[in-house]
Structure 1
Amino acid sequence: MAASSTSSINPAASKPQPRHQAVRIMHILTISGSPSAQSRSARLLGHVRAQLERAGESADHLDLRALPADALLGAQTAHPAIAEALARVEAAGVVILATPVYKAAYSGLLKTFLDLLPQSGLRDKVVLPIATGGSLAHTLAIDYALRPVLSSLAARAILPGIFAVDTQIVASDAGLMVDPALQQRLDDGIERVHQALALARHPAVEQVIVASRSAVRAAFQVHVNAHANANAQAADAQRMRCPT
């Protein structure tokens, strides 16, 4: 029997492929640096993770207190649990870390883990630091203690840190109650994370932004040079009119 002149069409094949298949995936990793499971910083990080999930973003979670203490303190990077933790950091594109502040410094647990990262362990990553403390006196701990370490690890971008006073976080059977002012800062931080994800998933947009910034800098430099030349010409003219 002769073959039919009409070819069968697979409906699934004719449909345009979802855009997410053509973009680069960027993973989010949250890291809890508190030695206590019930700490305010750990609860606040869980609150942030829940917000991300409600917005459609999935986040991997790394609880440093669950790592074997001997391997962590002994810097045993070949230990399976430590190696896996380091690999999860390497695979992440966005890292959100939370730590309690003790005596104007982030937790020793977090410091011990960060010390295990390679020199460029945060390269190409966007980092959002979150800290909790007993008073506003510890507010600058993020900028003066933690941010320089994150920068030395070659983080691509360190978002403005979020500091929460302990009294702004109240845990109850109904869930976590967060002070409105703190919640606004969290919302702003999460929005910056969304922006970073959007740029990573659409690199062409990021390239346009980078090109635009370069063009603006170039135009500004032309303006500065022209202004400097004009000032130099004016000074020469003044000297000719008023010779010494």
Structure 2
Amino acid sequence: MTTSAVTPSVPPSVSAPDPSRGVLPVVGNPRPGSRTRLAAEALAQAIADRLGSPLAPTIDLADLAPEVFAPVRPGVDDALRRLSSAQVAVIATPVYKASYTGLLKSFLDLYGSDGLRGLVAVPLVVSGNPAHALAGEVHLRPLLVELGASVPTRALALTESQLGALDSVVGAWLDQHGDVLAAGVRA
């Protein structure tokens, strides 16, 4: 494996977040147009509204999956740049085998050490079973922190049964964590 297959071609100048980039949903579900995407976009929109920031177009990794392991990956490299320069990112995944998806891990593995330094990240997990509620805290948060992201709030853990009441669930999460998130963005 060559170095270019592991390290994205992201210039160092883009590693600092650009507040004009706003709130970016990133979806690690291997199925395009998933319910995970709907949840990520709902949470990102609510955060953008709360912070008075623009909502950036969603990165749906299902659309980029064929490029993740390719030697030339312009779409993936663009997504890596967009994520590293966002103000806030909602990193969303369904729970597979009690953790995040391999697609999300493979995408995030393309960053070098501290590749997300300066980014405020909000983990979001969607599972079929409430027993997986801690997957965002136990598995996804450490990965994001290892990459240098700040994760000032608890993850939002949704069960499939809550997807019909997204506005209510997202609103309750934001009522509880919005001030901490805003303080993390200001810091």
TM range (shorter): 0.7 to 0.9
- The equivalent position to 1:79 in structure 2, one of 73, 85, 93, is 73
Task: Give the whole-Å Cα distance in 2 for the aligned partners of 1:73 and 1:190.
Answer: 36
Distance (whole Å) between structure 1 residues aligned to residue 138 and residue 162 of structure 2: 22
Q: Which amino acid aligns with 1:43?
A: L
**Per-residue CA distance 1:23-53 (angstroms, 9 max, x = gap):** x735322201112234322111121233245
The answer to whether residue 144 in structure 2 is matched with residue 144 in structure 1 is no
Q: 1:108 to 1:26 in 2, by over 3 A?
A: same
| 1:193 counterpart = 2:181 | yes
Q: Which residue of 2 aligns with 1:160?
A: 154
Q: Is the 8 A contact 2:152 2:184 kept in 1?
A: no
Taking structure 2 as the reference length, the TM-score comes to: 0.77
1:109–1:185 CA distance, 2 compared to 1 (3 A): same
Aligned CA RMSD, in angstroms, stands at: 2.3
Q: Distance in 2 between the 1:137 and 1:163 partners?
A: 10
Structure 1 residue 179 displacement after superposition = 7.4
CA–CA distance in 2 between the matches of 1:46 and 1:156?
A: 20
**Change over 3 Å in CA distance of 1:53–1:181 after alignment to 2:** closer
CA distance in 2, matches of 1:186, 1:105: 23
- Give the 5 Å matches for 1:1-244: 25=19, 27=21, 28-55=23-50, 56-60=52-56, 61-69=58-66, 71-74=67-70, 76=71, 78-170=72-164, 177-178=165-166, 180=168, 183-197=171-185, 199=186, 206=187
Q: How far 1:181 sits from its partner (Å)?
A: 5.0
Amino acid at match of 1:156: S
- Give the secondary-structure state (helix, strand or coil) at the position aligned to 1:95: strand
Map Cα deviations across residues 163-217 of structure 1 (whole Å, 9 max, x no partner). Answer: 01110112xxxxxx337455401443444433333x2xxxxxx5xxxxxxxxxxx
Structure 1 residues 162 and 79: alpha-carbon distance in aligned structure 2, compared to 1, 3 A threshold: same
Tell me if structure 1 keeps the 8 A contact 2:92–2:125: yes
Give me the whole-angstrom Cα distance separating, in 1, the residues matched to 2:81 and 2:62. Answer: 17
The structure with more radius of gyration? 1
In 1: Cα distance, 2:170 partner to 2:76 partner:
33
Supply the AA of the counterpart residue of 1:59. Answer: L
Checking the alignment, whether the CA contact within 8 Å between 1:101 and 1:141 is kept in structure 2 is yes
Partners of 1:52 and 1:80 in 2: how far apart?
29
Q: Percent identity between the aligned chains? A: 31
Check whether the contact 1:30–1:49 (CA below 8 A) recurs between aligned residues: yes
8 Å Cα contact 2:42-2:170 kept in structure 1: no
Structure 2 Cα separation of the partners of residues 191 and 66 of structure 1: 33
Q: Secondary structure at the match of 2:173?
A: helix
Q: CA contact under 8 A between 1:128 and 1:189: conserved in structure 2? A: no
Q: From the superposition, tell whether residues 89 and 181 of structure 1 become closer, same or farther in structure 2 (CA, over 3 Å).
A: closer
Structure 2: distance between partners of 1:168 and 1:51: 16
Q: Distance in 2 between matches of 1:182 and 1:82?
A: 29
**2:87·2:120 contact (CA, 8 Å) conserved in 1?**
yes
